[in-house]
Structure 1
């Protein structure tokens, strides 16, 4: 097992949920925290503990995003008009790497960052290799022509494992996807329940 896969599995077991909806997640068979004492660690959780877990679960779902990056995204969501929790989800889903994952160009959010970093995608015809690049409604993301026969891409596009959400319009043959609109929480196909309002409480306390 690779170090990356091992880390993903530990994260799933730490939060006790299959946060990426992967069929090989260990919590599908053993829903306890890592370690020999994991079975006995599930006592009553404080409000702070619930808020922390909600924050960790949401942050982990977006792959390699750091705490500093996540906090910066929250601060931006808090400055925007409207509901901070909904703003946070919209900002996270507007990240190029998240979009590439949702469009099923790659199988995992971790692969999405690497795919973008290696220069395999264009945004509105311009090569873009920054995973945190912020998309706007109407932006078109395409896989560069020389990258369209990569096995990882072909496998992901043909996989029945995930559905493409309505706020993304994908043309599998052209390998392009349009960011139709910034989504709200209920639009995002999270495999587990996400609670961004708890995240807001965590950072506000």
Structure 2
């Protein structure tokens, strides 16, 4: 489980952006960082600071992954042929918790991780409770029969602040989602600009 579940709004305020596009984000009320010195933190950022911020923002978006987890995913993206930044996004979007969130089975990425961990999800008809499980193109994710009446699902489906991307095929009646293809950066509906190229620069120093 992520250590940030109870303090996820701090990520928004630390980044100075509403990174999930949520109506409840504290940035909708005050656009400065947390703490008594939050309003004094603006200033010119160094190249290193810009790269670090890009990494923190992307890492935070996916449930504030640990540095070890994120660096491992980056290492895999680097080893695969093609653009490392694009590969990184593709690998992050292939996580099971990311798909559960994208399919709107739950309202937040943090809830998605918990939803998977608590055994509410099947992949190709088999139970999987590992949030970092990596999906393949064509895999079908579904909500277990016993879990389909959970209030959190109806709440998430009713949300208007985000749409299901076109690299998923979602049936909201049967609560199934097919992972059609691995997305490129331009396919992913981030509410704010993500800059994986800066993440690559950060780790390439």
State the TM-score, normalized to the length of structure 2: 0.96
1:120 maps to 2:111: no
- For structure 1, which segment, 23-32 or 177-186, has the greater mean C-alpha deviation from structure 2 after superposition? 23-32
Using a 3 Å threshold, how does the CA distance of structure 1 residues 90 and 5 change in structure 2: closer, same or farther? Answer: closer
**Cα distance in 1, alignment partners of residues 56 and 6 from structure 2:** 18
1:165 maps to 2:165: yes
Aligned pairs (5 A) from 1:18-167:
18-167=18-167
RMSD of aligned residue pairs (Cα, Å): 1.2
- For structure 1, which segment, 93-102 or 63-72, has the greater mean C-alpha deviation from structure 2 after superposition? 63-72
- For structure 1, which segment, 194-203 or 60-69, has the greater mean C-alpha deviation from structure 2 after superposition? 60-69
**Cα distance in 1, alignment partners of residues 177 and 126 from structure 2:** 14
Aligned pairs, how many? 203
**Residues 90-111 of structure 1, C-alpha deviation per residue, up to 9 Å, x if partnerless?**
0000000000000000000000
Long gaps (5+) in structure 2? none
Secondary structure of the residue aligned to 1:17 is coil
**Cα distance in 2, alignment partners of residues 131 and 179 from structure 1:** 15
**Residues 98-129 of structure 1, C-alpha deviation per residue, up to 9 Å, x if partnerless?**
00000000000000000000000100010000
**Where does structure 1 differ by over 2 angstroms across 4 or more consecutive aligned residues?**
3-6
**Cα distance in 2, alignment partners of residues 182 and 191 from structure 1:** 19
Secondary structure of the residue aligned to 2:91 is helix
Long gaps (5+) in structure 1? none
Deviation at 1:6, TM superposition (A): 5.3
* 2:89–2:184 contact (8 Å) kept in structure 1: yes
State the TM-score, normalized to the length of structure 1: 0.96
Secondary structure of the residue aligned to 2:178 is strand
**Cα distance in 2, alignment partners of residues 37 and 6 from structure 1:** 22
**Cα distance in 1, alignment partners of residues 109 and 52 from structure 2:** 22
Could you tell me which residue of structure 1 aligns to residue 179 of structure 2? 179
**Cα distance in 2, alignment partners of residues 66 and 40 from structure 1:** 28
**Cα distance in 2, alignment partners of residues 33 and 154 from structure 1:** 33
